[in-house]
């Protein structure tokens, strides 16, 4: 039974990694393998001898001696538990995505154009790298990449010159997303899963993340591609929408408010995100000329090109395929966790891997394992890798292990263009060739990743 379930997961995950070759969206194999895995577990629950209790982070003793009805009851409880934890992440992401789309509805991100006035290629490199680093910590690395590439396309007409900036934006966005609880899906997973707290996450990872970006940026500053000046395209000093700046600051402030809300109330982050979404949506409706009635939606302002109100329009623009993919992959990994496969794998790692740096880490888990996780995230989607680590390890909140996992999974994906959501969206927007990125950007990302690892070891020894 377990062998069959592992085979289904392996085949499903292989289909996910080969989505471009198969020309099948990755959400399809993710949903199919999730459903098949849980169906196999349900049909063979009576023959299972072990079960992992995610709430207690341990195996259920005497599970093999329970009756079929008792096992089914435990199965249902585990399924509801995992669905609830997954839903927390998905609802949080839906709220964040909708706020970002509301900002875009009002053309809020165009306000950033006013800050770009330099003609120096080197200054533009540092400006966009810095914007990507800090913006990704607020609105997530995927959205920050989309926004900055869109702006870059208006500034630099030469595609060959622009691609190098795009590569650096990917590195910067992933580095910036690693130290923020809302900057990357994997970091959000660790935060919502009560593995890291906001303050400790910043304490442990801000400096390593800065170094992860700074080393590639310093090296790139001396490369021929970033020497000299260019003539930027003409950009209007005024934004098309009079509420653009207000919605930009309101939306970003609302997202930043979420960690504060969680710290004060101790409620799950999605509650704070829903509050933020409600406030932003209220202002959006007031600033727009839309009005609702029982018979439908009326829109009086046709100048902005939108045919619906800001909230309705923004909800229709969010990446629902990504949401469904996360549902499938997280629930599939949850199936492996419930069977105890991830727990047994963790025990095997602890017994067989060399223990590197355990005195500083304070845990039997090898540093090498986490570094390999970071390198693997360049090839394998980091969402299931982090989901697997949540089921494998039972260290308490703010253990250095979790912060190292957040850094490795968040920044390791920069080493290949297909290794992160930021890289994939950049690949799509600029039609970046895989081997071009491997030749021009990957070595910079690798140096940044390893430099950040070294700084993390130093930071860990202090805290």
- How many domains, the chain? 1
297 within a domain of the structure (yes/no): yes
Helix (H) or strand (E) holding 52: strand 52-53
CB 391 within 8 A of CB 337: yes
State the pLDDT at residue 297.
Answer: 44
Residues 6+ apart with CB under 8 A from 392: 342, 343, 345, 346, 349
**Across 84-96, average pLDDT:** 85
Burial 60-91 (b: 16+ CB within 10 A, else e): beebeebeeeebeebbeebbeebeebbebbbb
State the pLDDT at residue 348.
Answer: 66
SS3 call for 185: helix
Q: Over 80: is that where the pLDDT of 116 sits? A: no
Per 3-state DSSP, what percentage of the chain is helix, strand, and coil (rounded to 5)?
75, 5, 25
437 within a domain of the structure (yes/no): no
106 within a domain of the structure (yes/no): yes
**Across 9-25, average pLDDT:** 81
pLDDT band at 39 (very low <50, low <70, confident <90, very high): very high
In tens, the pLDDT along 229-271 reads: 866 545 454 446 788 888 888 988 888 888 788 878 888 888 9
273 within a domain of the structure (yes/no): yes
Q: Over 70: is that where the pLDDT of 338 sits? A: yes
451 within a domain of the structure (yes/no): no
12 within a domain of the structure (yes/no): no
**Across 32-53, average pLDDT:** 89
Determine the structural domain holding residue 213 and report its residue range: 89-320
In the numeric block, the tokens 């070759």 are attached to 21
Q: Over 50: is that where the pLDDT of 427 sits? A: yes
| CA–CA gap between residue 381 and residue 384 (Å, rounded) | 6
Helix (H) or strand (E) holding 296: strand 296-299
State the pLDDT at residue 418.
Answer: 75
81 within a domain of the structure (yes/no): no
**444: its two tokens:** 């910079």
In tens, the pLDDT along 196-221 reads: 998 999 999 999 999 999 999 999 99
Is the whole model's pTM more than 0.75, yes or no? no
State the pLDDT at residue 320.
Answer: 83
Q: 297 pairs with which residues across the strands?
A: 292
DSSP state of 234: P
CA 283 to chain centre: 27
**379: its two tokens:** 């090839």
CB 449 within 8 A of CB 411: yes
| CA–CA gap between residue 96 and residue 441 (Å, rounded) | 29
Sign for the pseudo-dihedral over CA of 400, 359, 389, 267: negative
Which is more confidently placed, 269 or 155?
269
210 within a domain of the structure (yes/no): yes
State the pLDDT at residue 355.
Answer: 46
CA 235 to chain centre: 31
Q: 435 pairs with which residues across the strands?
A: none
**317: its two tokens:** 């623009």
Query: What does the mean pLDDT of the chain come to?
Result: 81
pLDDT band at 192 (very low <50, low <70, confident <90, very high): confident
Q: Over 50: is that where the pLDDT of 359 sits? A: no
Q: Over 70: is that where the pLDDT of 112 sits? A: no
pLDDT band at 406 (very low <50, low <70, confident <90, very high): very high
| CA–CA gap between residue 59 and residue 175 (Å, rounded) | 36
State the pLDDT at residue 205.
Answer: 94
| CA–CA gap between residue 192 and residue 268 (Å, rounded) | 7
**Across 365-384, average pLDDT:** 76
Specify burial of residue 456 (Cβ count, 10 A radius: 0-12, 13-18, 19+): buried
In the numeric block, the tokens 């930043």 are attached to 256
């Amino acid at each position: 039974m377990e062998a069959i379930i592992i085979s289904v997961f392996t085949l499903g995950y292989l289909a996910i990694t080969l989505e471009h070759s198969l020309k099948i969206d990755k959400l399809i194999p993710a949903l199919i393998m999730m459903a098949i895995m849980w169906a196999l577990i349900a049909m063979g629950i009576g023959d299972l001898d072990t079960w992992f209790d995610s709430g207690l982070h341990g195996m259920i003793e005497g599970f093999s001696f329970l009756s079929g009805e008792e096992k089914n009851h435990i199965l249902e409880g585990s399924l509801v538990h995992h669905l609830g934890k997954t839903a927390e992440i998905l609802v949080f992401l839906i709220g964040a995505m909708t706020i970002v789309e509301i900002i875009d509805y009002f053309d809020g991100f165009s306000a950033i154009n006013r800050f770009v006035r330099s003609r120096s290629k080197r200054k533009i490199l540092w400006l966009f790298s810095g914007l990507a680093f800090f913006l990704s910590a607020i609105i997530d690395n995927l959205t920050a990449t989309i926004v900055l590439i869109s702006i870059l396309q208006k500034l630099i007409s030469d595609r060959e010159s622009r691609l190098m900036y795009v590569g650096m934006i990917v590195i910067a966005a992933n580095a910036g997303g690693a130290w923020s609880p809302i900057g990357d899906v994997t970091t959000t997973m660790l935060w919502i899963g009560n593995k890291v707290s906001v303050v400790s996450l910043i304490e442990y990872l801000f400096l390593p993340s800065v170094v992860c970006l700074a080393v590639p940026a310093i090296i790139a500053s001396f490369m021929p591609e970033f020497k000299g000046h260019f003539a930027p395209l003409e950009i209007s000093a005024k934004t098309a929408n009079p509420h653009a700046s207000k919605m930009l600051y309101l939306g970003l402030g609302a997202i930043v408010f979420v960690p504060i809300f969680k710290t004060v109330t101790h409620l799950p982050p999605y509650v704070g995100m829903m509050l933020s979404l409600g406030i932003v949506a209220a202002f959006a409706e007031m600033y727009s000329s839309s009005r609702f009635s029982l018979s439908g939606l009326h829109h009086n302002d046709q100048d902005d090109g939108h045919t619906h109100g800001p909230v309705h329009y923004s909800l229709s623009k969010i990446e629902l395929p990504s949401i469904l993919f996360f549902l499938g992959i997280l629930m599939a990994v949850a199936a492996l966790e419930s069977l105890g496969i991830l727990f047994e794998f963790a025990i095997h790692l602890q017994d067989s891997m060399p223990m590197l740096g355990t005195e500083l880490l304070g845990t039997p888990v090898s540093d090498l394992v986490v570094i390999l996780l970071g390198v693997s995230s360049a090839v394998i989607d980091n969402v299931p890798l982090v989901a697997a680590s949540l089921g494998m390890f039972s260290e308490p909140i703010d253990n250095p292990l979790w912060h190292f996992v957040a850094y490795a999974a968040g920044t390791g994906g920069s080493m290949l263009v297909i290794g992160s959501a930021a890289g994939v969206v950049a690949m799509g927007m600029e039609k970046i060739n895989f081997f071009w990125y491997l030749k021009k950007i990957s070595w910079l990302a690798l140096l940044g990743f390893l430099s950040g690892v070294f700084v993390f070891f130093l930071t860990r020894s202090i805290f």
